[in-house]
Amino acid sequence: MPGEAAVLDAAPVRGRSPAAETLGRLLHHRLFVSGLVLFGVILAAAVLAPVIAPADPTRIAMRQKFLPPGAGHLFGTDNLGRSLWSRVIWGAQLSVLMGLAVVGLNAVFGTAVGALAGYYRRLDNVLMRINDALMAFPAILLAIGITAVLGPSTGDVILALAIVYIPRTARIVRSSVIVVREMEYVQAARACGAGDWRILRRHILPNSMAPLIVQLSFLFAYAVLTEATLSFLGLGAVPPTPTWGNIMAEGRQYMVEAPWIIAIPGVALMVTVLGLNMLGDGLRDVLDPRLRVQQ
Amino acid sequence: MGRFFLQRLLTAVPILLMVSLITFGLIHMVPGDPSAALGGLSATPAELAQLRHDLGLDRSLWVQLWLYYAGLLHGDLGRSILLGQGVAQATVQRLPVTLSLSLYALVITLLLGLATGIVGALRQNTLADQAVMMFAMFGISVPSFWLALLMIILFAVKLGWLPTGGYVPFTESPLGWLRTATMPAISLALLQVGLLARITRSTMLETLRQDFIRTARAKGLPGRMVVGKHALANALIPITTVVGIVITLLVSGSVVTETVFSIPGIGQLLTSAILNRDYPLVQGGLLIMTALLVLVNIGIDLCYALLDPRVRYDAR
Amino acid sequence: MTLLEVRNVTTAFATGQGEIRAVEDVSFSLDAGEFLGIVGESGSGKSVTALTVMGLLPRPPARVAAGAVLFAGQDLVALPEARLRTVRGPGIAMVFQEPMTSLNPVFTIGEQVIETLRVHERLSPRAQRARAVEMLQKVGIPSPERRLSDYPHQLSGGQRQRVMLAIALACRPRLLIADEPTTALDVTIQAQILDLLMDLRDELGMAILMITHNMGVIAETADRVLVMYAGRVVESAPVDRLFERPAHPYTRGLLDCVPSLAADRPRLVAIPGLQPDPAHRPPGCPYAPRCPIAIAECSRAVPPLDPVAPGHAAACIRADRAA
pLDDT tens-digit readout, C57-111: 887 788 888 888 888 888 888 888 888 888 898 889 999 888 888 999 999 999 9
pLDDT at position B28 over 90: no
- Residues of chain A with Cβ-Cβ distance to B34 below 8 Å are 149
Query: A274, B137: Cβ pair inside 8 Å?
Result: yes
User: Which domain CATH number covers A55?
Assistant: 1.10.3720.10
pLDDT of residue A60: 74
Report the range out of A68-72, B54-58, B203-207, B275-279 with the highest average pLDDT: B203-207
Nearest to C248 by CA among C311, C175, C318, C148: C318
| Chain A residues touching residue B30 (CB < 8 angstroms) | 149-150
- Given A144, A266, A277, which is nearest B255 (Cβ)? A144
Chain C positions in Cβ-Cβ contact with residue B237 (cut-off 8 Å): 106
Task: Read off the pLDDT band of C226 (50, 70, 90).
Answer: very high
Residue B247, pLDDT score: 92
- Average pLDDT along chain A: 81
- Structural domain of A91: 24-63+71-294
User: Does any domain span residue B10?
Assistant: no
**ipTM score:** 0.85
What pLDDT score was predicted for residue C36? 92
Write the residue in B23, B125, B256 that is nearest to A229 by C-beta.
Answer: B256
Query: Are B30 and A145 an interchain contact pair (Cβ–Cβ within 8 Å)?
Result: no
Of C85, C102, C107, the CB nearest to B222: C85
**From A138, A252, A274, residue closest to B289, measured CB to CB:** A138
Task: Name which of A232, A265, A225, A267 is nearest A139 in CA terms.
Answer: A225
Quick one: pLDDT at residue A7? Answer: 35
Chains A and C: 3 or more CB pairs within 8 Å of each other = no
**What residues 167-186 of chain B have any CB closer than 8 A to a CB of chain A?**
none
Contact between B284 and B77 under an 8 Å Cβ cutoff? The reply is yes
* Contact yes or no for B149/A262 (Cβ under 8 A): yes
Confirm whether A40 is domain-assigned.
yes
Distance from CA of A219 to the nearest CA of B (A): 12
Position B184 scores a pLDDT of 93
From B210, B219, B307, residue closest to C88, measured CB to CB: B219
Pick from A127, A125, A132, A109: nearest CA to A212? A109
**Chain B residues within 8 A (CB-CB) of chain C?**
210-212, 214-223, 225, 230, 233-234, 237, 307-310, 313
Q: What percent of chain A has pLDDT over 90?
A: 18
Minimal Cβ distance to A137: which of B37, B199, B290: B290
B71 domain residue, yes or no: no
Pairwise CA distance, residues A125 & C297, whole Å: 72
Position A292 scores a pLDDT of 45
Identify whether A187 is part of a domain: yes
Task: State the Cα–Cα distance between residues C278 and C23, nearest whole angstrom.
Answer: 10
Which H helix or E strand runs over B174?
helix B174-208
- The answer to whether position B79 is within a domain reads no
Task: Work out the minimum CA distance from B228 to partner chain A, whole angstroms.
Answer: 21
Is position B103 within any domain? yes
In this structure, of A76-80, A91-95, A147-151, the range with the lowest mean pLDDT score is: A76-80
Q: What is the mean pLDDT of residues B97-113?
A: 94
Which residues in chain C have Cβ-Cβ distances shorter than 8 Å to B310?
105, 151, 153
Read off the CATH number of the domain in which B181 is found: 1.10.3720.10
DSSP A292: -
Closest to B211 (Cβ–Cβ): which among C81, C89, C102? C102
Task: Name the pLDDT band for B42 (thresholds 50, 70, 90).
Answer: low
Give C28's strand partners.
Answer: C6
Interface test with B, best of A156, A269, A273, A294 (most B CBs within 10 A): A294
Residue B290 contacts A where some CB pair is shorter than 8 Å:
yes
Cα–Cα distance for residue pair C287/C322, rounded to 1 Å:
14
Q: Which residue has the higher pLDDT, A146 or A194?
A: A146
Most B CBs within 10 A among C52, C92, C104, C164, hence the mutation to make, goes to C104
How wide is the angle at C-alpha B166 spanned by C-alphas A230 and B274, nearest 5°?
A: 30
User: Alpha helices, DSSP H only, in A233-259?
Assistant: 244-251
A73-91 tens-digit pLDDT = 777 777 776 777 878 888 8
Number of domains in chain A: 1
B256 found inside a domain: yes
Contact B237 C115 (CB under 8 A): no
Of the candidate ranges A130-144, B40-54, B275-289, C241-255, the one whose mean pLDDT is the lowest: B40-54
CB contacts, 8 Å: A294 with chain B: 133, 202
pLDDT-derived band at C275 (thresholds 50, 70, 90) equals: confident
Neighbour subunits, C (≥3 Cβ pairs < 8 A): B
Q: B233 and C167: CB-CB below 8 Å?
A: no
Task: Give the span between the Cα atoms of B48 and B33, in whole angstroms.
Answer: 10
Q: How far is B198 from chain C (nearest CA, A)?
A: 23
C127-144 residue pLDDT tens: 889 989 988 888 888 888
Report CA-CA distances (Å) from A181 to A187, A287, B211, C289: 8, 19, 32, 46
Q: What is the pLDDT of residue A289?
A: 61
Model pLDDT, residue A109: 93
pLDDT tens per residue across span C35-72: 999 998 888 888 899 999 998 888 778 888 888 888 88
Say what the pLDDT of residue B117 is.
93
pLDDT of residue C57: 86
Residues of chain C above pLDDT 90, percent: 12
The yes-or-no verdict on residue B45 having pLDDT over 80 is no
Spatial contact of C54 and C92, defined as CB atoms under 8 Å apart: yes
Does residue B149 fall inside a structural domain?
Answer: yes
Contact C107/B at CB under 8 A: yes
CB-based contact C258:C220 (threshold 8 Å): no
Pairing of strands C35-39, C207-212: parallel
Write the residue in B149, B198, B289 that is nearest to A252 by C-beta.
B149
User: Neighbours of B (≥3 Cβ pairs closer than 8 A)?
Assistant: A, C
How many distinct structural domains can be found in chain B?
1
Amino acid at B163: P
User: What is the reported pLDDT for B115?
Assistant: 93
Q: Which residue of A has its CA nearest to B276?
A: A148
Burial degree of C7 (CB within 10 A; 0-12, 13-18, 19+): middle
Inform me whether the pLDDT recorded for B229 exceeds 70: yes
Counting one residue from chain A and one from chain B, the pairs whose CB atoms sit within 8 A come to 138
Q: Is the pLDDT of residue B113 over 90?
A: yes
Percent of chain C having pLDDT more than 70? 94
Compute, in degrees rounded to 10, the torsion defined by CA atoms A253, A259, A265, A267. Answer: 140
- Return the H-helix or E-strand segment holding B15: helix B2-26
pLDDT class of B316 with cuts at 50, 70, 90: very low
Domain span at B185? 93-275
Reported as a single tens digit per residue, the pLDDT across A212-261 is 888 899 999 999 999 999 888 888 777 778 888 888 888 888 888 888 88
pLDDT at position C269, please?
56
Instruction: State how far residue B236 is from chain C, nearest Cα, in angstroms.
Output: 11
Chain B residue with the nearest C-alpha to that of C177: B218
Each residue's pLDDT tens digit, B46-101 = 777 777 777 777 777 788 888 888 888 887 888 887 788 888 888 888 999 999 99
Residues of chain B with C-beta less than 8 angstroms from the C-beta of A155: none
CA distance B274 to C97: 63
pLDDT over threshold 50, residue A108: yes
Instruction: Check residue A246 and give left, alpha or beta (phi > 0: left; psi -120 to 50: alpha).
Output: alpha
What's residue A8's pLDDT? Answer: 36
A267 falls within a domain:
yes
> What is the per-residue pLDDT across C197-224, written as a single tens digit (0 to 9) for each?
888 888 888 999 999 888 888 888 889 9
Residue C36, C-beta contacts closer than 8 angstroms, at least 6 positions apart: C28, C30, C207, C208, C209, C210, C222, C223, C224, C225, C226
With an 8 Å Cβ cutoff, are B210 and C101 in contact?
yes
Determine phi and psi for A83, rounding to 5 degrees. Answer: -70, 120
Q: Return the minimum-mean-pLDDT range out of A258-262, A263-267, C229-233.
A: A258-262
Looking at every residue in chain B, the average pLDDT score rounds to 85
- Residues of chain B with Cβ-Cβ distance to C116 below 8 Å are 219-221
* pLDDT at residue A4 in the model: 35
What's the confidence (pLDDT) of residue B108? 95
Please check the confidence at residue C300 and state whether its pLDDT lies above 80. yes
pLDDT band at C321 (very low <50, low <70, confident <90, very high): low
In chain C, the residue whose alpha carbon lies closest to the alpha carbon of B125 is: C60
| Lowest pLDDT segment from B48-62, B63-77, B116-130, B152-166 | B48-62
pLDDT digit string, tens, across residues C162-197: 899 889 888 888 899 988 887 777 778 788 888 888
